Amino acid sequence: MGGTAPLDRTSPVFDYAPAPESRSVVDLRSSYGLFIDGQFVEPVAGGSFKTISPATEEVLAEVAEADEADVDLAVRAARRAYTRTWSRMSGRERGKYLFRIARILQERSRELAVLETLDNGKPIRESRDVDVPLAAAHFFYYAGWADKLRYAFPGRDPRPLGVAGQVIPWNFPLLMLAWKIAPALACGNTVVLKPAETTPLSALLFAEICRQADLPPGVVNIVTGAGDTGRAVVAHPDVDKVAFTGSTDVGRQIARAVAGTEKRLTLELGGKAANIVFDDAPVDQAVEGIVDGIFFNQGHVCCAGSRLLVQESVADEVLERLKRRMSTLRVGDPMDKNTDVGAINSAEQLAKIRELSDIGEQEGADRWSPPCDLPSQGFWFPPTVFTGVSQAHRIAREEIFGPVLSVLTFRTPAEAVEKANNTPYGLSAGVWSDKGSRILWTADRLRAGVVWANTFNKLDPTSPFGGYKESGYGREGGRHGLEGYLR
């Protein structure tokens, strides 16, 4: 791999005029309260924190910080709504509300996309074309199940669990909310959801949408805050089910907190997915898949293809084309519709990406990034590829959660499978080959919850998603996603 041919710098790169999305569609308030029992309320102790735009470091709003007393109010409201209205309502009626929410998400999609991009730093193209449409699709999909739960589990009498306490991360704020709330509500549960501290705004707009949909008060409650707020949600004695998406470390803490209680638990945790390219793969298509696998959403993706395993005989060619493609990625203003790679979500996450990348170099791997001008304000990291990586390197083992790809090579399919499975995680994987038989042989042996063939990062509400090993347990999406919310 050391012999990668020099890049062809003469290949034309088109210049685009800036195409910024207008933020006027968003009505940002200077401060936001907690959403409890259908109302926006001040927190009991009056605490708050700021949420900023990671692209500019501009303060977007002051957001209420919920403590144990607020979480208690939210859980009580959820319990009341559960016993008095939501669990008594027919599935058909519940479905109507979910359909209504789905339609409002579509109607307000531009507003949601702009807000998500401002608060998270992801390119507007992605929030507009991926996050928001998929969030609406999840509500449509689970709305359809609400009156058909008996058909989902024939011969059983599916019943809701009660109050679900849900904690989500910052990488897909609205989409992760949809993954949590849509199946919970479809099954007849009520929820208390805590969004991540760096991206609370789309969840608060969603609260407004619940009001617009006339959802009965208390069915959805949104409590904002950081780890302590999440801890209070998980620990509340009247929560029947805990659903968590986030890091493996916090997942472990939550599993410990819930152990010995009656609470049901699902955990969607980290990943270190292998993206395997065989020598017969269509190279250009594979390169697009590699780029999408690791640079989509700045690599802040639990199922990101962060380990490229490429067959030795085609490694030089794949890497050369990959680097050429990386040179065309546009990094910068997430509000510009031409931007491919936006801002890193927080200073803290940027520090973590820098630290692990520096360690990669110190451990002897070769680091490469295309030349790109990064804005002076905000949090940025260039698309980066490491070659000469060995399995023992930390960049091959640990989740970096940024736009950083580690490349390893293999000679035989068996070696590819062995290397791919050599990780404590097991969330996703990709296989690129012209041969169906080879794809099936490989997929059969990969220990990953999702295996994509000749594509990557394709998410669909009808398809279950979840991990093995340290990537967690339980499935979200599809009929399987209902199970975590039913008795």
Q: What is the DSSP string of 261-286?
A: SS-EEEEE-----EEEE-TTS-HHHH
C-beta of 243 vs 420, nearer to ligand NAD:
243
C-beta of 145 vs 425, nearer to ligand NAD:
425
C-beta of 210 vs 427, nearer to ligand NAD:
427
Q: Residue 128 Cβ, how far from ligand NAD at the closest point, in Å? A: 20
Comparing CA positions, the residue from 192, 206, 194 lying closest to residue 76 is 192
Residues written for the chain = 487
C-beta of 293 vs 467, nearer to ligand NAD:
467
208: enclosing H helix or E strand: helix 201-212
**Does 185 sit near ligand NAD (CB under 6 A)?**
no
CA distance linking residue 486 with residue 264, whole number of Å = 10
- Give catalytic status of residue 268 as yes or no: yes
Task: Looking at residues 230 to 249 of the shown chain, list those that interact with ligand NAD (rule: CB under 6 A).
Answer: 230-231, 234, 245-247
CA distance linking residue 192 with residue 236, whole number of Å = 11
**Does 477 sit near ligand NAD (CB under 6 A)?**
no
**Does 278 sit near ligand NAD (CB under 6 A)?**
no
**Does 203 sit near ligand NAD (CB under 6 A)?**
no
CA distance linking residue 128 with residue 116, whole number of Å = 9
Other Cβ atoms closer than 10 A to 19:
13
Q: Residue 303 Cβ, how far from ligand NAD at the closest point, in Å? A: 7
CA distance linking residue 230 with residue 172, whole number of Å = 17
What are the distances in angstroms from CA 1 to CA 34, 202, 389, 442? 54, 44, 11, 24
Per-residue x/- mask for ligand NAD, residues 402 to 441, rule CB under 6 A? -------------------------x--------------
Region near ligand NAD per CB under 6 A, out of 2-10, 56-64, 157-165, 194-202: 194-202
Q: Give the DSSP letter of residue 479.
A: T
Q: Rounded to the nearest 5°, which phi and psi values hold at 309?
A: -110, 110
* Of 226, 283, 440, 453, the one binding ligand NAD by CB under 6 A: 226
**Does 483 sit near ligand NAD (CB under 6 A)?**
no
Residues taking part in catalysis: 268
Interface contacts to ligand NAD, rule CB under 6 A? 167-171, 194, 196-197, 226-227, 230-231, 234, 245-247, 250, 253-254, 268-271, 302, 399, 401, 427, 467, 472
